[in-house]
Amino acid sequence: MATYKQLLAEKEKIEAQIAEVRASEIAGVIEKIKSLMSEYELTADDLAPKRRRGRPASSEKTAATPRAEVPPKYQDPKTGATWSGRGRAPAWLGKNREKFLIIEA
């Protein structure tokens, strides 16, 4: 039966052989890839996918229709600032919204 030290030495020999064989095989594979790339006139950019940021494009190729602007519902009498009632409410509106309501005639 082999000792622990003998097994470790054997393991190191095998790992060295693995690294040697891998390096020689990789060299062959790289040459094969280079020859195929030159045969088909490919570049590294053709192989690597394009990295895009943000949301993926819509499946439909139509342009988005612009949304109509919403008329204001509230107005600050001091500054004339308006708010449509959508989104976060401005600080000047306070809790009583009825006194800032724009009355349509």
pLDDT value of position 25: 95
- Helix then strand then coil, in percent of the chain rounded to 5, is 45, 5, 50
Adjacent-strand bridge partners of 75: 82
pLDDT tens, N- to C-terminus, the chain (105 residues): 789 999 999 999 999 999 999 999 999 999 999 999 999 998 888 888 777 777 776 666 666 678 888 899 999 989 999 999 898 999 998 888 888 898 875
Q: What per-residue confidence (pLDDT) applies to 63?
A: 62
Q: Is residue 59 part of a domain?
A: no
pLDDT the model gives residue 18:
96
Within a domain: residue 57?
Answer: no
- Structural domain contains residue 83: yes
Is 76 among the domain residues? yes
Residue 91 lies in a domain: yes
Question: CB 33: neighbour CB atoms within 10 A?
Answer: 12
Measured distance CA(23)–CA(25) in Å, rounded:
6
Examine residue 36 and state whether it is found in any structural domain, yes or no: yes
Instruction: State pTM to two decimals.
Output: 0.40
Q: What local confidence, expressed as pLDDT, does residue 64 receive?
A: 65
Phi, psi of 11 (to 5 degrees): -60, -45
In a domain, 104, yes or no: yes
Please report which helix (H) or strand (E) contains residue 12, including its range.
helix 4-39
Domains of the chain: total: 2
Instruction: Tell me what pLDDT residue 44 has.
Output: 84
Residue 49 to residue 93: CA distance in whole angstroms: 51
Residue 39: which domain range? 8-47
Does the residue 62 lie in any domain?
no
